[in-house]
Amino acid sequence: MADLTIHFAGIKAPNPFWLASAPPTNTGYQVQRAFEAGWGGAVWKTLGDPIINTSSRFGAIHFNGQRVAGFNNIELITDRPLEVNLKEIEETKKKYPNHALMVSLMVEPQQEKWHEIVKKVEAVGVDGLELNFGCPHGMAERGMGSASGQVPELVEKQTHWVKEVAQTPVIVKLTPNITDVTATAYAAVQGGADAISMINTINSLAGVDLDTWNTIPHVAGKGAHGGYCGPAVKPIALNMVAECARSPEINVVPICGIGGVSNWRDAVEFMLMGAGSVQVCTAAMHHGFRIVEDMIDGLNNYLDYKGLASVNDLIGKSVHKYSDWGDLDLNYKIVARIHTEICINCNKCHIACEDTSHQCIDMLTSKEGSKYLEVREEDCVGCNLCQIVCPVDGAIDMIEIPSETPMTWKERQTALQQLAGSLVK
């Protein structure tokens, strides 16, 4: 079996699967149960000045028969006294010395406040700190969370304040509620962060009850925007991780991938795109801590299948494949081919292509009088829509067609500029 051990920013863990700072890491009882189940690490739910949480707190998006495709919450940081949390953190680390135990922190943007809480938390023996610059609701209205995380100057300044006194690795958790996550990621690096993690939750409203007209969730008939997470946010998170991983100014520090990690496949995708570890929340809340067993088994089997000795061999292997649109080969061509022996004649591909794409799938009649579908390859643009809507795996393949010399948009524009220059001369 492959070695799943990771060393993330100096933090050692038996595997890359960590629980994110959230309701599952609210108490020592929960974190210890998670470690017993097999989680490699956990980020303790955000500590700061205890607040009062609301009831109710959670909402979910169920889609096409799938429960919890997306998850929304308006819960804030810890509502338990700091002393109680610190006592349980110390007990947990002593009981599980070989598991990674980080603590999420959030205080007002004041140097002395950061110094005070860092010293108290590190005194109980944690492996690292995660600065919460991402919470989009409640705390943001108080000038913390994403209110700080959306301002690069504040991210850099507060990270620097923490690094002035921190004796353990400092991870900066970034908000996705920003135009360009690389701006704040770079600010964290400039502030001295040992690592970055992303993404925190996305501003959202889960829904509106059509009977009562109340928001979902609501508190005594009133609602507020919350944080969105779960499988639905994975593409957004994966993009942000990739953007940071391909930046030479940012990838000098490791990245922890967060957002929609529900199984080992998701974890592998994040690691291929540059993540050195992953954090999980919604999937654990949906299915319980024991899901990590399948994650570990699946990752082990995948690494064996690929002939890789260590999980670390995955990190960043797909980053060089991720680029800008202007770097894509405009002469590359693929077309759809329908395998009639597999096709069930549901006609979904024909309808999708005829109504919303390029009208290149013909409905024909064989000599025997049976109907079948065929792609006019000369008119197919290789958009993938037919394969996407097809309910039968293998019924439609996308086939590469030999084409001209590769030509990107950037190369094309350069050639046009050179031609225009020669004509002027």
User: Exposed, middle or buried, 205 (CB in 10 Å: 0-12/13-18/19+)?
Assistant: middle
Active site residue 244: no
Could you say which DSSP state residue 408 is in? B
Catalytic pick from 135, 244, 281, 380? 135
Q: Is 161 helix (H, G, I), strand (E, B) or coil?
A: helix
String of b and e for 38-68 (b: at least 16 CB within 10 Å)? Answer: bbbbbbbbbbbeeeeebeeebbbbeeeeeeb
Contact 202, 240 (CB under 8 A): no
Instruction: Name the residue type at position 279.
Output: Q
Q: How many CB atoms lie within 10 A of CB 142?
A: 15
> E-assigned strands of 9-127?
11-13, 17-19, 41-47, 58-63, 66-73, 100-105
Q: How far apart are CA 415 and CA 288, in angstroms?
A: 57
- The CA-atom distances, in angstroms, between 364 and each of 294, 341, 356, 375 are 46, 15, 20, 10
CA 265 to chain centre: 13
- The CA-atom distances, in angstroms, between 20 and each of 15, 41, 154, 162, 201 are 14, 9, 23, 20, 11
Place of tokens 């109340």: 214
**Residue among 387, 383, 334, 338 nearest 358 (CA):** 383
Residues designated catalytic: 135
